[in-house]
Chain A
């Protein structure tokens, strides 16, 4: 899976490394800002109210 992604990234290895790091960072930011808040709210993992 990751090997497949690596093979399909363009350029020599330092460029690929940079692209891979940027892609990872983008995924983490999207998760932190939208993915996890949605998950938390949808599954009520942190409810503190009665009712």
Chain B
């Protein structure tokens, strides 16, 4: 009898006897714990989850692009036999595979499929070509942006790319090699001049050089600034 009564009392005490202050503090504590777990999950997402998505997208893009390169689809305006003429990279749809990018200074197996466009949805799939800038080998400033943290972080070590390093670009139309002639520099997010046809001379300037510009975020795990390197065409057919 006595024991059962005590157990019931104990149960009551455990369940409902907490005062309003203790209950409020308890809920606040649980909310804080929940937020902490959410933040940790977000870090896992940025550093790992996004990379899985990007890897999958890269495999898909590579397959599609190589398919298209080796077997161009004839359009009504330009009926070409399969394999006869290479696909013009300028006709790539936004979000589709555009070119292969290789930077030997970042590793012998550093090769990414660049997509057309630099919206976040494009960059989630790989480095993106600023669609209004020149195509590889063209007069002007062929510009590419890529993530430095998360989404596979293609440009994680862009700050290590220095003067004299080669950047290779391959499309169905050929392969071009640019050589970096300006060290990596930190700029403001509003410094759009770096992707101008002639860097720093406005959108209307007539280009005389074939340049390349690569942009990413700075600091690595932030986005308050941007980092860029740029180079000039040293090998490949001039268009």
Contacts and interface: CB of A to CB of B under 8 A. Distances in A.
A48 B190 contact: no
Contacts, number: 70
Contacts of B118: 49
A5 B150 CA distance: 34
Interface in B169-190: 187, 189-190
Contact of B130 (A36, A45, A49): A49
A23 interface: no
A32 B148 CA distance: 20
B151 A46 contact: yes
B226 interface: yes
B145 A48 contact: yes
B120 interface: yes
B195 interface: yes
B110 interface: no
Given A50-B194, A50-B215, A41 B187 contact: no
B25 to A, nearest CB: 12
B207 interface: no
A20 B193 CA distance: 53
Interface residues of A, number: 18
Contacts of A45: 223
B46 interface: yes
A22 interface: no
Interface string A16-51: 000000000000100110001101110011111111
A48 B150 contact: no
Contacts of A31: 38, 41, 45
B145 A49 contact: yes
A50 B49 contact: no
A2 interface: yes
Contacts of A36: 41-42, 45-46, 49
A36 B223 CA distance: 17
